[in-house]
Structure 1
Amino acid sequence: MRSSIILLVLLFPVLALAQKKVLPAEVQIRTAVLAAPEDLRAGVMVYGYNEAGEMVVLREGTNHLVCVADDPDKKGINVSCYSKKLEPFMARGRALTEEGKPEMERREIRRKEAEAGELELPDAPAMTYILTGSEENYNLETGELKDGQFRYVIYIPYATAQSTGLPEKPFAPGMPWIMDPGTHRAHIMITPPKN
């Protein structure tokens, strides 16, 4: 028993350091909008995290994009912005995550709901911008990220390789390809090569 207590006391500082601190709303917003095209950043809606670690709206938007701040419980920096057409799909995913559903179960639930017409999917291609980077290249005070890597995802539900002409795997660096073809979550992936 005593050795267990000593182990916990020794591990506590390590565990505490492993979790990132929830940053001020202004910094979260500054970082989240880095994923959006520059000319749209001022008008995007932004989700982020409060002191309790709950996802909340940090800023209401005036244009067609929604951005999500970096999750303080995950390693690295990962922010994204997506078309408001995707909000029902994304919101349902967040709700299922809060319920503790694992990834594959979330996918299956959303598939069934989409096929039953209970989950609204975009009726035209819908864009998502993703920016990732390492914590070593991130400024906690300014929200700036150096050497981030972009990835672009264009949701096009139920599209296939045949309907788009895209391959199901990339065969050259940075080329677009279709992932999950023929499903409710079919999307075009574009990952530019790193500099």
Structure 2
Amino acid sequence: MKLAVPTLLLFALLCSCDPATETVSETPEVTTSDPTENRAQLVDIDSDEARIATALLAAPAASRDGAKVIGYNAAGEFVTLREGTNEFICLADDPNKDGFNAACYHQSLEPFMMRGRELQAEGKSAQEIFALREEEVKSGKLTMGDAGSTLHVYSGPNATYDPETGKVDGASYRYVVYMPYATAASTGLPESPIAPNHPWIMDPGTHRAHIMISPLKGED
């Protein structure tokens, strides 16, 4: 079983939205009248079937049936875990990282996301990945996909889930809308959250500018 990530790390990661560089995320907690009984139902996310099922939780509910799922299989190989029929690609949790993190994004973002995974595999840091992709997007070598494309993230500190409900223990949901080179002035959005559940713009003026939205628990 993977180790739980400290709460403070989770808080810091609320501001991170790129599957190529982030390690963990959040989602609605599973609660019952008997927490002890509920925890007894939790099992490790340690099979391809479990990784597919939990990865799909990052996709909008109406799009889960047709979403493609990619990620690491039981043999440690990065593969297509399930073919898809719609515009979404879901990235399953990495079993080699602590906590749980799944993401789902519009297919037009795949070149950008794939490039991030390639650079990460080369050992590049988050800062290096950002700088290299910024340069490649500006030069036209790399596309950021369609303006307004979305990335949905479902993450939490524990890599365990309830097979009956499909919920990941302690996980929560957030999503972003990519708006390359947008700024606070061009969108009217603040550069930091001013209230719970309030959208704001992150990485303004860069290739990775995006609107960040973190629904309140129970409203996602």
Shared fold (TM-score greater than 0.5)? yes
What secondary structure sits across from 2:151 in the alignment?
A: strand
Question: Alpha-carbon deviations, 1:46-68, whole Å to 9, x = none?
Answer: 01212342321111110000001
Q: Return closer, same or farther for 1:142/1:29 CA change in 2, 3 Å cut-off.
A: farther
Question: Alpha-carbon deviations, 1:140-161, whole Å to 9, x = none?
Answer: 7985424421111111111111
1:73 maps onto 2:96 in alignment: yes
Q: Which has the larger radius of gyration?
A: 1
Measured in 2, the distance between the counterparts of 1:161 and 1:17 equals 39
1:89: which partner in 2? 112
Q: Could you list the runs of 5+ residues in structure 2 that have no partner in the other structure?
A: 5-43
Q: Is the 8 A contact 2:2 2:158 kept in 1?
A: no
User: Residues 159-178 of structure 1: matches in 2 within 5 Å?
Assistant: 159-178=182-201
1:47: which partner in 2? 70
Percent of paired sites with the same residue? 52
2:208: which partner in 1? 185
Q: Return closer, same or farther for 1:116/1:183 CA change in 2, 3 Å cut-off.
A: same
1:101: which partner in 2? 124
- Which of 122, 125, 149 lines up with 1:126 in the alignment? 149
- The structure showing larger relative contact order (alpha-carbon pairs under 8 Å, at least 6 residues apart) is 2
Matched residue pairs, number?
179
Measured in 2, the distance between the counterparts of 1:17 and 1:181 equals 35
Instruction: Please tell me the residue identity of whatever aligns with 1:54.
Output: E
Q: Give 1:27 shift.
A: 1.3
User: Which is helix-richer, 1 or 2?
Assistant: 1
Measured in 1, the distance between the counterparts of 2:145 and 2:190 equals 22
Q: Return closer, same or farther for 1:25/1:177 CA change in 2, 3 Å cut-off.
A: same
Poorly superposed stretches of 4+, deviation over 3 Å: 16-19, 139-144
Question: Alpha-carbon deviations, 1:7-66, whole Å to 9, x = none?
Answer: xxxxxxxxx9759x8722221110000011111101001012123423211111100000
Computed over aligned residues only, the root mean square deviation of the Cα atoms, in angstroms, reads 2.3
Which moved further from structure 2: 147-156 or 30-39? 147-156
